[in-house]
Structure 1
Amino acid sequence: MDKVQADRWRGVAERTWRPAALLAACLAVWHLITVTGLVEAYLVPSPAKTFGLLVDKWSYLWGHTWVTTYETILGFVIAGVLGVLVAVAMVYSRTIESTAYPILLFAQVIPKIAIAPLFVVWLGFGLEPKVIVAVLMAFFPVVISTVTGLKSVDTEMLDLAATMGGGPVKTFVKIRFPAALPHLFAGLKVAVTLAVTGAVVGEFVGSNEGLGYVILQANGNMDTPMLFAGLIVISVVGVLLFLLLDLAERLMLPWHASRRGAAVTTLLAKGGS
């Protein structure tokens, strides 16, 4: 293994050992609670029983996991595209901004669990209600973060582009949108976790498949090991989608100040050694 690869693995270890230690501590506390009998076993199953169930019922859980993941990704993509388009319209038109912003805020504060049954009544028990709830959950962070990013561009840079003959479209493509990408990715990373929640909420209301359905059935049957297993799988799905977006951000925005700062810190640490 050469020095570059060794440094890379050392960096990975430095970034992951603290979260791994915290996770191990949480599992240890969970195990102690169940072993000492502080909580009845039918209320909180042991980690061994929960993870054993994950292994035994993996084929069953995998089918439902794929359903929820598909609903999440579809709702997230729709929310991302619509959110960016609405944000651009709001930035370039004060009329649209003043008209749409109160409506967006009103729609955001409505509890999605309260309106999800309406979508089931209107659209049935298929894919559409779950995707719509996921879109509603993920839409607002994308809009707000994109608007913030598009408005935070240095006005002197915009004036320079106009002086050099850059039209609105070219200025947007070359300056505004690239400058807004860090804010956009921040909103997307929040939105993708909310999309998971939205898909599960839609499954709670009316579904015969998906992780929300698994949790609802386990709760009704007082099957706490399956309930915990479903919650763990949902958390893993959300974390993996978040990490995929974080990786995409690292690949697309190596020039951003936060990435440069990390690189400079690494170089200084190497120079001091």
Structure 2
Amino acid sequence: MRKANRGNLPAAGLTLALVMLWQAAAMGMDAAYILPSPWLVLVRLWELRGPLFSAHLPATMAVVGVGLGISIVLGLGLAMLMDASPAAEKALYPLIVASQTIPTTALAPLFVLWFGYGLWSKVLVAVLITFFPIAITVFDGFRSVKTEMTELLFTFGASKRQIFWKLKLPAALPYFFSAIKMAIPLSVIGAAIGEWLGAQSGLGYFSRRMMTQLDGAGVFAPILLLSIAAMLMVAMVSMIEKRVITWRGQ
């Protein structure tokens, strides 16, 4: 327990230093509608806790959850397909990379035009951003298996399915959890972008509405809430990872 607390000291110290720097910059600028102080943001978050926690946070988390779920299924499917077929790898890999060169802010308004202000226009933005790290990272996990190990199992009479479940899948699990931890913040960003550009609810929408009112603290309050939600989700995934991958330290 003491070692864990000591391990958190550098992060706590750096966070405190950044908050103090933020406070100093806010005091030097003396324009709360542009850069509010951390205390003003916390006060505004408390004042707006009703609409933020009852309506806008659930709306954003719904987008994140659905988008992340679709990205996991899509990313794993593409990774498995590319690993199973070299022809599929040559055909899909360039397209997957090319999909990340499309500006998301350019597609988000089109998604709103096609699907309206409902859930799916934001979900598509989140999926477009998050499926890439899952597909590529898990594929690299499959490729990390040594050829000698695969050939050894073949000589023992193992089928391709047995090699996948007994060798490749355990080898790719650390890569999978790393990909999920990368995808969570990206899915939050994708949801916020989609809500910012076209929505009727959500933290991104609320932040944009506060900006039109020149409420600097109101703009930062939902952003802070988004950051906290993303960090909690990553922490939960890390806890699950420690319980599932028990052999990592061996």
What does residue 162 of structure 2 align with?
Answer: 170
TM-score, with structure 2 as normaliser: 0.95
How many Å apart are 1:205 and its aligned residue?
A: 1.8
- Give 2:45's match in structure 1, choosing from 27, 50, 54: 54
- CA deviation digits over 1:136-185, x for unaligned, max 9? 11000001101101011011111111111111111101111111111122
Using the alignment, how far apart are the partners of 1:49 and 1:188 within structure 2? 33
**One-letter amino acid matched to 2:226:** I
Is 1:194 matched with 2:186?
yes
* Runs of 4+ that moved beyond 6 A: none
Q: How many residues align?
A: 249
How do residues 123-272 of structure 1 correspond to structure 2 at under 5 angstroms?
123-256=115-248, 259-260=249-250
- CA deviation digits over 1:1-49, x for unaligned, max 9? xxxxxxxx202211212111211222222223334x4342322112222
- CA deviation digits over 1:106-136, x for unaligned, max 9? 1111011111111111111100011111111
Using the alignment, how far apart are the partners of 1:110 and 1:212 within structure 2? 21
Using the TM superposition, name which of 114-123 and 140-149 deviates more. Answer: 114-123
Using the alignment, how far apart are the partners of 1:177 and 1:117 within structure 2? 38
How many Å apart are 1:71 and its aligned residue?
A: 0.8
Q: Which structure has the larger Rg?
A: 1
Using the TM superposition, name which of 168-177 and 47-56 deviates more. Answer: 47-56
User: Alignment partner of 2:100: what SS?
Assistant: helix
Using the alignment, how far apart are the partners of 1:139 and 1:41 within structure 2? 38
- Give 2:8's match in structure 1, choosing from 9, 12, 16: 16
- CA deviation digits over 1:212-257, x for unaligned, max 9? 101110111111011111111111111111112211211111211x
**One-letter amino acid matched to 1:10:** R
Using the alignment, how far apart are the partners of 1:84 and 1:152 within structure 2? 16
Q: Percent of aligned pairs with the same residue?
A: 35
Residue ranges of structure 1 left out of the alignment (5+ in a row):
1-8, 261-273
Using the alignment, how far apart are the partners of 1:214 and 1:107 within structure 2? 29
Using the alignment, how far apart are the partners of 2:208 and 2:32 within structure 1? 19
What does residue 68 of structure 2 align with?
Answer: 76
TM-score, with structure 1 as normaliser: 0.87
**One-letter amino acid matched to 1:177:** L
The answer (yes or no) to whether the contact 2:184–2:233 under 8 Å persists in 1 is yes
Residue ranges of structure 2 left out of the alignment (5+ in a row):
none
